Chain A
């Protein structure tokens, strides 16, 4: 009985308003920290300090942007990020397989994605903010052979 009472809330002096305010502030901070966009406030390192593929594809550059192309399971996925590798959504993105007519890829969640086609070279044309179109070509000859 004594053990049970020891755990009951409300036993002893009532919490002060300061204790409640502190609890709400601390709890709210802990609740929000995973979702706060605090990282832009911090130094994320130097531009172009990291050129590793992050999605299992090939990484290339278009202007100051990073583009990663992943071909897997019959689909081609293209991820675009800025100079600091922060993900961004380009205004428009099209791919050309072995020099054929460009195919515009739709934005699907967090990437541009569409059906893949057999090809050694994939040209990616990215329309960035301001309307400029930048292009780069990826060589997949090793993975095709």
Chain B
């Protein structure tokens, strides 16, 4: 039976809060897609008409991603797998936003609008992953 510390360290705090935010965002998408679509202050309608089914699909991803990060915050052994999964999604998500902005699907104002909710999380999860990897190998 393996034993593992469940105490939080700074990396756990970052992952836990980040995961909680993703959990709430995903729950919002699942519970009320139209409200999320028009209320999220990230210009979602700029990308196209509302499709409630697809919003719920994405909500499911965010809930799982958030739950994995929260769990990993308290379970250090699960951090790298959780960071790898979440990081893969967030980086690809960022790439999709870059492509859609470059090709003109949305206006150039989205370079700034997407920084807090898209590009920053993708960068931070990669940085946190490198910190965790460094911790694991020292």
Interface residues on A, range: 35 or more
Q: Does chain A have a CB within 8 A of B35?
A: yes
A23 touches B20 (CB 8 A): no
Q: What residues of chain A lie closer than 8 Å to B21, measured between beta carbons?
A: 30-35
**Is the beta-carbon distance between B116 and A36 smaller than 8 angstroms?**
yes
Interface string of B12-37 (1 = CB under 8 A from A): 11111110111011000000101100
Supposing A24-B13, A27-B17, A39-B43 touch, asked if A53 and B49 sit within 8 A by C-beta, the answer is yes
Bound-state Cα–Cα, A35 to B113, Å: 13
Q: Is there contact, CB below 8 Å, between A109 and B34?
A: yes
Within 8 A of A (CB), among B120-138: 120-121, 124, 136, 138
For the residues of A in contact with B, the DSSP-based class is: loop
Cβ–Cβ contact A54 & B45, under 8 A = yes
- Which of the residues A23, A31, A52 comes within 8 Å of B10, measured between beta carbons? A23
Q: How large is the interface on B (under 10, 10 to 19, 20 to 34, 35 or more residues)?
A: 35 or more
Provide the bound-state CA to CA distance between A89 and B49, in Å.
19
Q: Are B45 and A111 in contact (CB under 8 A)?
A: no
Q: A12-B138, A42-B113 given as contacts; is B49 within 8 A of A56 (CB)?
A: yes
From A2-10, A90-98, A114-122, the one touching the partner chain is A2-10
Task: Select the residue from A7, A53, A85 with max chain B CB neighbours within 10 A.
Answer: A7
Least Cβ–Cβ distance between B76 and chain A, in angstroms: 4
What distance in Å separates the Cβ of B23 from its nearest Cβ neighbour in chain A? Answer: 10
Q: List the B side residues contacting A44 at CB < 8 Å.
A: 43, 109, 113
Interface hub of A4, A24, A29 (most chain B Cβ within 10 A)? A29
Q: List B79-117 residues whose CB lies under 8 Å from chain A.
A: 107, 109, 112-113, 116-117
Using CB atoms and an 8 Å cutoff, list the residues of chain B in contact with chain A.
2-18, 20-22, 24-25, 32, 34-35, 38-43, 45-46, 48-50, 76-77, 107, 109, 112-113, 116-117, 120-121, 124, 136, 138
Give the interface of A toward B (CB within 8 A): 4, 6-10, 12, 15, 19-20, 22-24, 26-40, 42-45, 49-50, 52-56, 79, 85, 87, 109-111
